[in-house]
């Protein structure tokens, strides 16, 4: 987190991520060419698959909502100098909180059930992240390892619960019964229809408003509160934090609880907004997409919003791709995701130094 060369803000937040994205797309394009398909045609298919029709736009925004939650979760931990790889597990357990509310109180009014579901999802996700946070803060256990282990433990726990406890009696597939009507997050096309605007049906739902609110909240928290300030100080220099009277341990706990709570909101979008029941592996890797989103969005809510849209489009466009190109499917998107992490994260210094030299800012301290 200590870049070798400083860049002006527009290059830091705009140009550099763009160059990194282009590098990732270029390599993916080369691989598509290697397979024997045209990368240009694939790109056009993906763009039209993601934005070409009303329902595809809906799907793009639906996926993007997931990624905003997990991206913010990774970013908040990053600001405190922590690498939370456990977004996947926290989203899974958070979804358990959402699902339990949906199963137990689904017959009540949505005005009560939905806020309750959001709170429960946050609480479950936060609790799952609290454990590695506490272990890091008080016992010095490496948070990367403990969050990875927590992912596997969460997965085993959820499989157990869905197969043995929560399964709808009399069926084979490990799924719960449907939530009551009160736990259904209104879909955007329904809301628009009530206002007299016609929009093709898609799972895009009002959890997206929650995602926007979460962006605003994270921005205000990180840059406008004393807790956010403490978080950033601990992230940049824990020793300095101690001299400033900030407790790194407590700050780590705050960051991880917030991070887990944000990841836990994924269940609101996936379960209350789309599936209306709990099923195996519903986070579907969104926790890991969050890493790419946070790195590309440079840990800023606006950047995360933009990166989430991009990945939402990639996921939606990628699933459309397989219809027209039998040899290319969504796996290609996972490759792009990995490449983005590589270029925006691990290889960020490769493009940064030459860019700084070109812009003539090498060695100059930014304001």
Min dist CB 216 to other proteins, Å, is: 27
Nearer to other proteins, 291 or 304 (CB): 291
What is the chain's alpha carbon radius of gyration, rounded to the nearest angstrom?
21
Min dist CB 140 to other proteins, Å, is: 8
Judge contact between 277 and 178, C-beta under 8 A: yes
Min dist CB 358 to other proteins, Å, is: 18
Judge contact between 324 and 33, C-beta under 8 A: no
Judge contact between 78 and 330, C-beta under 8 A: no
- For residues 202 and 94, what is the distance between their CA atoms, to the nearest angstrom? 23
* Site residues for other proteins per CB under 8 A: 31, 35-36, 83, 85, 131, 135, 139-142, 144-146, 148-150, 152-153, 156-157, 159-160, 163-164, 288, 291-292, 295, 326-329, 331-339, 341-342, 345-350
Nearer to other proteins, 84 or 120 (CB): 84
Nearer to other proteins, 48 or 322 (CB): 322
Q: Bridge-partner residues for 187, per DSSP?
A: 205
Min dist CB 173 to other proteins, Å, is: 17
Nearer to other proteins, 131 or 212 (CB): 131
Nearer to other proteins, 145 or 220 (CB): 145
Judge contact between 177 and 104, C-beta under 8 A: no
- Coil vs helix vs strand at 245: coil
What DSSP string runs through 252-275? HHHHHHHHHHHHHTHHIIIIIIII
Q: Is the dihedral of CA 218, 97, 168, 152 positive or negative?
A: positive
Residue 169's contacts (CB-CB under 8 Å, 6 or more residues apart) are none
Q: Bridge-partner residues for 205, per DSSP?
A: 187
Residue 251's contacts (CB-CB under 8 Å, 6 or more residues apart) are 80, 227, 230, 231, 234, 241
Min dist CB 348 to other proteins, Å, is: 7
- For residues 19 and 283, what is the distance between their CA atoms, to the nearest angstrom? 29
Nearer to other proteins, 139 or 194 (CB): 139
Min dist CB 342 to other proteins, Å, is: 4
- Buried residues in 108-134 as b, exposed as e (16+ CB within 10 A): bebeebbebbbebbbbbbbbbbbbbbb
Assigned token pair, 358: 């070109």
- For residues 117 and 124, what is the distance between their CA atoms, to the nearest angstrom? 10
Min dist CB 243 to other proteins, Å, is: 21
Assigned token pair, 153: 């433990």
List the end-to-end C-alpha distance of the chain, in Å, as a whole number: 18
Min dist CB 271 to other proteins, Å, is: 21
Min dist CB 318 to other proteins, Å, is: 10
Nearer to other proteins, 25 or 350 (CB): 350
Nearer to other proteins, 58 or 303 (CB): 303
Nearer to other proteins, 10 or 152 (CB): 152
């Amino acid at each position: 987190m200590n870049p070798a060369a400083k860049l002006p803000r527009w290059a830091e937040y705009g140009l550099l991520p763009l160059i990194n994205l282009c590098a990732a797309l270029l390599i993916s394009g080369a691989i598509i060419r290697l397979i024997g398909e045209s990368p240009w045609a694939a790109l056009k298919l993906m763009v039209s698959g993601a934005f070409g029709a009303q329902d595809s736009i809906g799907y793009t925004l639906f996926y993007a909502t997931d990624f905003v939650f997990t991206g913010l979760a990774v970013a908040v931990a990053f600001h405190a100098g922590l690498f939370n790889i456990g977004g996947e597990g926290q989203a899974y357990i958070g979804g358990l909180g959402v699902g339990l509310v949906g199963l137990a109180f689904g017959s009540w009014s949505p005005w009560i059930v939905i806020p309750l579901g959001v709170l429960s999802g946050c609480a479950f996700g936060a609790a799952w992240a609290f454990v590695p946070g506490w272990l890091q803060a008080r016992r010095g256990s490496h948070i990367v390892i403990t969050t990875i282990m927590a992912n596997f433990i969460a997965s085993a726990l959820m499989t157990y619960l869905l197969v043995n406890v929560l399964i709808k009696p009399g069926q084979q597939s490990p799924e719960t019964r449907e939530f009551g009507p009160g736990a259904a997050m209104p879909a955007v096309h329904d809301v628009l229809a009530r206002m007299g605007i016609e929009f093709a049906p898609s799972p895009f739902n009002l959890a997206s408003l929650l995602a926007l609110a979460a962006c605003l909240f994270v921005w205000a928290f990180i840059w406008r509160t004393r807790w956010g300030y403490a978080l950033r100080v601990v992230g940049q220099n824990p020793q300095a934090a101690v001299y400033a009277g900030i407790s790194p341990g407590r700050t780590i706990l705050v960051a991880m609880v917030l991070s887990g709570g944000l990841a836990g909101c994924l269940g609101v979008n996936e379960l209350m907004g789309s599936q209306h029941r709990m099923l195996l592996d519903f986070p579907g890797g969104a926790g890991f997409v969050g890493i790419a989103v946070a790195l590309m969005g440079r840990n800023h809510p606006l950047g995360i919003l933009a990166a989430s849209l991009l990945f939402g489009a990639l996921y939606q466009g990628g699933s459309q791709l397989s219809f027209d190109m039998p040899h290319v499917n969504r796996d290609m998107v996972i490759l792009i995701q990995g490449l983005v992490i590589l270029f925006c994260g691990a290889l960020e210094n490769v493009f940064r130094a030459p860019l700084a030299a070109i812009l003539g800012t090498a060695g100059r301290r930014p304001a």
